[in-house]
Amino acid sequence: MDLKLENRVALVTGSGQGIGRTIALALAAEGAHVAVNDVNVKGVEETADLVRQSGGKAIAAPFDITNLDAVKTMANKIEGELGRIDVLVNNAALLISHEMFLDTNPEDCDKEIKVILFGTMNCARAVLPGMIKRRFGKVISIVTDAARVGQERQCNYSAAKGGVISFTKSIAKEVGRHNINVNAVSPGATNSPMRMEMLRQLKENIGEAKAAEREEKVKRAYALRRIGEPDDIANAVVFLASEAARQITGQILSVNGGFAMLG
């Protein structure tokens, strides 16, 4: 199937590592040019180099998505270098702690919401005018099933992602008339660096054996009995960014191995 992504320009936030990096490489593999964003400058350069090594075209776009002025400046720079932004992937996120809500620090909550929700809105505010002018665009945000069904010890993170889900549906109704598709991919548990760090901390706290036992219990909550991989998320993003998904907008696509089967 020709996904018609050849020479499209994609901005992927939080692509200095993990799922974001996998998404950037997957889009490049389909012929898209990629603007690699992260606050981790080293990670940005590494991802951009990986794209180039694979034969793709990439530029480094290190900026803080919580700073609207910085987002607008970099969006203009990307459009100046690559001609436009056809695809925006809002992947950047922050999960500071994994603890009960009343034990969390309100300042950490503020940081998570600024990155996840306000960062997504800032990027949309900077990129959508160009998409509207060209009457073409794809916006895909990475959310989480924890925001759809609830998840203890992730209240702040889930609340921020829940805001992105609502924003996705609402902005899709506003910009659909301009031939812009806005959707979200909602992973279940995925072996990302964020999850690997949580597992590392869990092993330190309760030991290797109990952590392994808990991991098996987690897998049993999934119909497919496995934890997702970054490629699973990237594949869904590539599909939604393609013309094969031209009639899909305002949707939340769960990529969760059957953890939650939402209508």
CATH number of the domain within which 43 lies: 3.40.50.720
Which tens digit of pLDDT belongs to each residue from 163-196?
999 999 999 999 999 999 999 999 998 988 878 8
Options 157, 161, 184, 255, the catalytic residue: 157
Q: Which residues in the chain land under pLDDT 50? A: none
Range of the domain at 181: 9-189+229-255
Question: Quick check: is 217 in a domain?
Answer: no
Domain total for the chain? 1
Q: Please write down the HEC assignment for all residues of 108-158.
A: HHHHHHHHHHHHHHHHHHHHHHHHHHHCCEEEEEECCCHHHHCCCCCHHHH
The per-residue pLDDT for 211 is 83
Question: Quick check: is 262 in a domain?
Answer: no
Question: 139: which strand partners?
Answer: 88, 182
The per-residue pLDDT for 196 is 81
Question: Quick check: is 224 in a domain?
Answer: no
- Dihedral sign for Cα atoms in the order 2, 3, 8, 13: negative
**Is 222 marked active-site?**
no
The per-residue pLDDT for 263 is 67
> What are the strands of the beta sheet with 58-61, ordered from one edge?
58-61, 33-37, 9-12, 87-90, 137-142, 180-187, 252-255
Question: Quick check: is 196 in a domain?
Answer: no
Question: Quick check: is 1 in a domain?
Answer: no
Question: Quick check: is 211 in a domain?
Answer: no
Widest CA span in the chain: 57
Question: 34: which strand partners?
Answer: 10, 58
Question: Quick check: is 4 in a domain?
Answer: no
Question: Quick check: is 220 in a domain?
Answer: no
The per-residue pLDDT for 195 is 82
Query: Looking at the whole model, is its pTM more than 0.75?
Result: yes
